Structure 1
Amino acid sequence: MPPDASVAECEYCGRPFESEGLLALHRGRAHESAISAAERTAYEEAYEAESGQLGRFRLKALAALVLVYFGLLIVYAVV
């Protein structure tokens, strides 16, 4: 991380994270038995948000692969 960036640090293990969302995900995964109810809620919200983003990325990646595949297929058919 850049030295001038604001850091969210885990109070359980001291690891630095870029954002509070990443910190909440870390707490929920690495310190599941030690977190409070508020931290668990933050983890669940961050997990849902990231799941949506990951789903959109997968759809975009699939669309790109399909376009490349059919593009190469058409080029091969013409040549």
Structure 2
Amino acid sequence: MSRTDTTPKSNSRPEHGYSFHVPADTDVYECPRCGRPFARERHRDLHLGQTHRGLSESERTAYDAASEDEQSDLRRFRIVALGLLVLFYFGFLFLFAIFG
């Protein structure tokens, strides 16, 4: 399958039901089972673990590492979002106390 090709190797519709246009100058990480393109290797590994069954040992290890990284990123996002929410809340509270 070439980078700009949006159909799987057979003439049937892709398993995921979508077709994708991938620019020729971008790096692509394709799912080895359904051919779906991903911009990052981590996204492909997460897709493999969540969508496909019967993973090999290396695919399972890659999925576990990607899942752990994803959880770490989500935890950091939640902490930053909570901090910003608290900052805005107290910021508006002080503004109201001073100018209200």
Query: Do the structures match in fold with TM over 0.5?
Result: yes
Higher relative contact order by CA 8 Å / sep ≥ 6: 1 or 2? 1
1:22 aligned residue: 43
Aligned residue among 46, 51, 67 for 2:87: 67
Per-residue CA distance 1:23-68 (angstroms, 9 max, x = gap): 100000000x231111011000010011111111110010000000
More helix by share: 1
SS at match of 2:27: coil
The 2-side partners of 1:77 and 1:36 are apart by 61
Over aligned residues, Cα RMSD in angstroms? 1.1
Structure 1: gaps (5+ residues) = none
The 1-side partners of 2:74 and 2:42 are apart by 15
TM-score, with length taken from structure 1: 0.91
Aligned residue among 60, 74, 79 for 1:54: 74
Whether 1:78 aligns to 2:95 is no
Report the number of matched residues.
78
Greater Rg over alpha carbons, structure: 2
Percent identity over paired residues: 49
